[in-house]
């Protein structure tokens, strides 16, 4: 089981250092699960440095498909590898919504990262309008179709209507979506969408939920540690 924290555009290097020092104190409680944090690009180096020698991994929040080139504002997989980063999130709904990410781009970013030796958490999920229109399966099938099963690939199911809204998919909705995704692609599937300490247990107890991609609740070290501890009992 994997619990990954996506910090989005929060925590510069100083805050990241404080968080990682504190998270290390909880590491002994996480022996039976995999744990990762995804700071902003500017905070990756300090996270890697402080968490070196632990089993807590550091992942980036995005990665470009080219190893280098004239791509202002982007960061490549080789650059992340040189920093000591273990993986990257790809295709998060916020990247799709605000920055025009497409399924094709997600496929290219995923392929480049995997080929460079990074692990990838590839995000998929439907909007509220798509769910209400009965299009969830079609959306997930389209988004998953561009991915290929590999040992270092994990999919995160993030219903867009449950990200940062306080809404959470019921355990039944999560299980149904995860089972559907696994029927398309044989990889672990994380749930993301307002995961908190008080709802983590019932979500992680579902048979096809292999962990969580945690947003807001991963910004507080005690909250994140509580979710990780819940996962060790699931």
**Does the annotation mark 26 as catalytic?**
no
**Does the annotation mark 31 as catalytic?**
no
* Catalytic pick among 92, 101, 126, 178: 92
d(CA 143, CA 48): 31
d(CA 56, CA 61): 16
Q: Which of 168, 143, 141, 43 is nearest to 91 (CA)?
A: 143
d(CA 116, CA 87): 10
Burial (CB count within 10 angstroms: exposed 0-12, middle 13-18, buried 19+), residue 13:
middle
* Catalytic pick among 101, 130, 158, 178: 158
List, in order, residues 6 or more apart from 205 with CB less than 8 Å away.
171, 234
129: enclosing H helix or E strand: helix 128-132
Q: Quick check: 154 and 121 in contact, CB under 8 A?
A: yes
Q: Which of 74, 163, 147, 51 is nearest to 108 (CA)?
A: 147
Instruction: Tell me if residue 18 falls in helix, strand or coil.
Output: helix
Catalytic residues: 92, 158
């Amino acid at each position: 089981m994997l619990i990954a924290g996506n910090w989005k555009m929060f925590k510069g290097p100083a805050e990241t250092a404080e968080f990682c020092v504190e998270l290390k104190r909880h590491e002994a409680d996480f022996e039976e699960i995999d744990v990762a944090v995804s700071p902003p690009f500017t905070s990756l180096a300090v996270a890697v440095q402080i968490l070196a020698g632990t089993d807590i991994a550091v992942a980036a929040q995005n990665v470009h498909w080219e190893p280098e080139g004239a791509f202002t504002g982007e960061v490549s997989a080789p650059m992340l590898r040189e920093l000591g980063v273990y993986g990257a999130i790809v295709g998060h709904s916020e990247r799709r919504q605000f920055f025009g990410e497409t399924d094709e781009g997600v496929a290219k970013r995923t392929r480049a990262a995997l080929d460079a030796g990074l692990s990838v958490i590839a995000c998929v999920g439907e909007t509220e309008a798509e769910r209400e229109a009965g299009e969830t399966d079609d959306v997930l099938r389209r988004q998953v179709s561009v991915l290929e099963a590999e040992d270092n690939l994990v999919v995160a199911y993030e219903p867009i209507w449950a990200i940062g809204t306080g809404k959470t998919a019921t355990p039944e909705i999560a299980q149904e979506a995860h089972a559907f995704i696994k029927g398309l692609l044989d990889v672990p599937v994380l749930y993301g969408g307002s995961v908190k300490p008080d709802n983590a247990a019932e979500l992680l107890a579902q048979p096809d939920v292999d962990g969580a991609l945690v947003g807001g609740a991963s910004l507080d070290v005690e909250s994140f540690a509580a979710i990780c501890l819940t996962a060790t009992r699931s």
